């Protein structure tokens, strides 16, 4: 199966893509490799890293970062609706959310600057409700 990019979706690429698409989790390369090995024992981690670049170039997956330091790359299906992530700095929980406020901001920026945006990528950090409550209790 060819894709718009001219790259083929090989059997190994299909396995890795299926792992990402079927998971409800936010996966890093090592987790993808461990799960993909259940379907293809010959798969090695270097192949997974190369394949992630190809799948991203093909527009089939998105690469995300959940913190300012960009220490860990996370991958998810590009077919999900546009959404954003909040990472708790205390417990590490990542929450996905959608909001019309970003849509409004994009429209405002497009009008003001003449931009034509195709995608927004924002990550939010702070303390989830449980951790914020614990912090308030310890004050």
> What CATH number has the domain bearing residue 5?
1.10.10.10
The residue from 30, 46, 78 where one domain ends is: 78
Residues 6+ apart with CB under 8 A from 33: 43, 44, 45, 48
pTM for the predicted model, two decimal places: 0.75
3 and 69 share one domain = yes
Report d(CA 29, CA 98) in Å as an integer: 25
Q: Which pLDDT belongs to residue 1?
A: 42
Report d(CA 131, CA 133) in Å as an integer: 5
CB contact at 8 A, 98 and 82:
yes
Q: Which pLDDT belongs to residue 70?
A: 64
Average pLDDT (33-42) is 95
Q: Which pLDDT belongs to residue 13?
A: 94
118 and 57 share one domain = no
For the chain, what is the domain count? Answer: 2
Host domain of residue 40: 1-78
7 and 49 share one domain = yes
The residue from 41, 57, 78 where one domain ends is: 78
60 and 108 share one domain = no
More confident site: 82 or 69: 82
The residue from 78, 104, 126 where one domain ends is: 78
């Amino acid at each position: 199966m060819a894709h718009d990019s001219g790259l083929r979706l090989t059997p190994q690429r299909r396995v890795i893509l299926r792992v990402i698409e079927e998971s409800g989790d936010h996966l890093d390369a090592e987790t993808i490799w461990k799960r993909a090995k259940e379907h293809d024992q010959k798969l090695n981690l270097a192949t997974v890293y190369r394949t992630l670049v190809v799948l991203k170039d093909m527009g089939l997956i998105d690469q995300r970062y959940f913190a300012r330091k960009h220490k860990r790359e996370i991958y998810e299906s590009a077919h999900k609706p546009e959404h954003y992530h909040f990472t708790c700095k205390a417990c590490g929980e990542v929450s996905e959310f959608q909001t019309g406020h970003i849509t409004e901001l994009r429209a405002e920026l497009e009008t003001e600057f003449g931009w034509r945006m195709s995608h927004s990528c924002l990550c939010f950090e702070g303390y989830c409700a449980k951790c914020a409550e614990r912090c308030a209790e310890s004050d």
